[in-house]
Amino acid sequence: MDRSLFLTILISILIALAGFFIFRMTCGCLVPAAATTAAGAGATAAAGAGAAAFKAPALLVKDGGKRVAYYAGDNLRFGLNSNNPLMSSSVKTEYGKVATYLKDNPNKNITLTGEYKKDEKNNTSFANLGLARADALKKHLIGLGVPAARILTDSRIVNDLPVKNKEVYGAMSYGFAAKAAPPKIVKEINIKDAAAFNTGAKDNIVFKESDYEYKKPLSAPLKGVFQKTADYLKKNPKRSIKLTGFYGDKEKNTSLLPNLGLARAGNVKKILTGMGVSASQIDTDAIMQRGLEFPNKELIGGVNYTFFNTPEKADGRLAAIEGRLKGKPIMLYFETGKNTLRLSDQQRKDFADLLYYLDRKPNAKISSIGHTDSKGNRQANVNLGDRRAKFVKDYLLRNGASQKQINTASKGPDKPIATNDTENGRAKNRRVEVTLK
């Protein structure tokens, strides 16, 4: 074969082969082994990275070195911009352990610090979303039997909170601390706000055992102490005062409120509000003390005074009370022909909320309507219903309500809610209906 012809054929074959390989590589039909391996590894790595991109942080609640609750598979969750807690059954079980731990250790308090991202919207009545989230978990623990006074709340911004499917995971931290010992009751009154304010007298208010109204009249030195305190609070609206009432474990609760301590604190609160202090600057609390002494059946002092910064957040409790009680009568029942009230724990809580509402809403009104069974003379029953309605009004006045907020009336036997043919039915008809208008 001619050499030039051979070279021409060889070059044609090489060109054809080159075209073939270029076509195969362009259409993706042929990929070198090394490239295939690298691409497969890259895809696997990407898939793995996607699968491992989110892992819910474990729920962990510790008291120092002691683990109180732990669950690795999930955590407390909130919707973005929300304070509504979302909990799996496993997470609920762990919070049950937290509640049990607190009940088994009555000397411990817990602080719940709600966390939120700076760019989350706060649609709650609280100053920030963190406080709202902490309060939501607080309510859950209260529902599990933990006393509200032992759960404190706080907040902080955490911008790197884990988020998946528009849900924030965790958003809560926990701290335990020993409960402070109750302050001592002293014979000499002293009301002090650090170095800013200090007043006192060699005298103190006095309560009779199992009573919530302080003995009147107050001495001139005592009036002076409360007047100075009232003046200080009016000049400093950013400071508030907490009145903590004491009561003994063997005292009988003669008030409308859940305990005598709250009623005593509320009674002293009336002194300050009567001197012009805003009710929103006065908080009340109670402490039960076993073995509380009553020399001559009297409690000397019985109230402790502490100052704190006035909260800037809106009062969410008012809206909650209005939603629960407005237009919905609280039913109070009486024995036949008697003015003696029988109050359940729930009714005492309702009245505590009602008085709180009236205190902060001076234009709010309530009605006290007396009803009787049909036994006896109708006019006598109308009069009895009126006395009962006014009896409840007097109870409310002595517990902090104002005269202009309460209207009374009697329906006698005319508006029964049950048959008068049975003792059970008559008992239901002997009632006063207290309604927030």
Does any domain span residue 203?
yes
Are residues 172 and 206 both part of a single domain? no
Are residues 126 and 69 both part of a single domain? yes
Are residues 232 and 172 both part of a single domain? no
Are residues 125 and 144 both part of a single domain? yes
Are residues 305 and 350 both part of a single domain? no
Does any domain span residue 48?
no
Last residue of a domain, one of 128, 148, 178: 178
**Gap between the Cα atoms of 1 and 14, Å rounded:** 19
Predicted local distance difference test score (pLDDT) of residue 399? 73
Are residues 392 and 430 both part of a single domain? yes
**Number of independent structural domains in the chain:** 3
Q: One digit per residue, pLDDT tens: the chain, 437 residues?
A: 555 655 566 666 666 555 555 444 444 443 333 333 343 444 344 444 444 567 788 999 999 999 999 999 999 999 999 999 999 999 999 999 999 999 999 889 999 999 999 999 988 878 889 999 999 999 999 999 998 888 998 899 999 999 999 999 999 999 998 876 665 666 899 999 999 999 999 999 999 999 999 999 999 999 999 999 999 999 999 999 999 999 998 899 988 889 999 999 999 999 999 999 998 899 999 999 888 889 889 999 999 999 999 887 667 788 889 899 999 999 988 765 555 667 888 888 888 889 888 888 889 999 999 999 999 999 999 999 999 899 889 888 877 788 999 999 999 999 999 999 999 999 899 999 999 99
Q: Domain range holding 385?
A: 316-436
Does any domain span residue 231?
yes
Does any domain span residue 119?
yes
Q: What CATH number does residue 302 fall under? A: 3.30.1330.60
Are residues 258 and 321 both part of a single domain? no
Are residues 125 and 156 both part of a single domain? yes
Last residue of a domain, one of 309, 344, 370: 309
Are residues 199 and 89 both part of a single domain? no
Predicted local distance difference test score (pLDDT) of residue 25? 47
Question: Which residue shows structure tokens 């209906």?
Answer: 433
Predicted local distance difference test score (pLDDT) of residue 163? 92
Are residues 75 and 157 both part of a single domain? yes
Does any domain span residue 225?
yes
Are residues 64 and 85 both part of a single domain? yes
Are residues 169 and 195 both part of a single domain? no
Does any domain span residue 23?
no
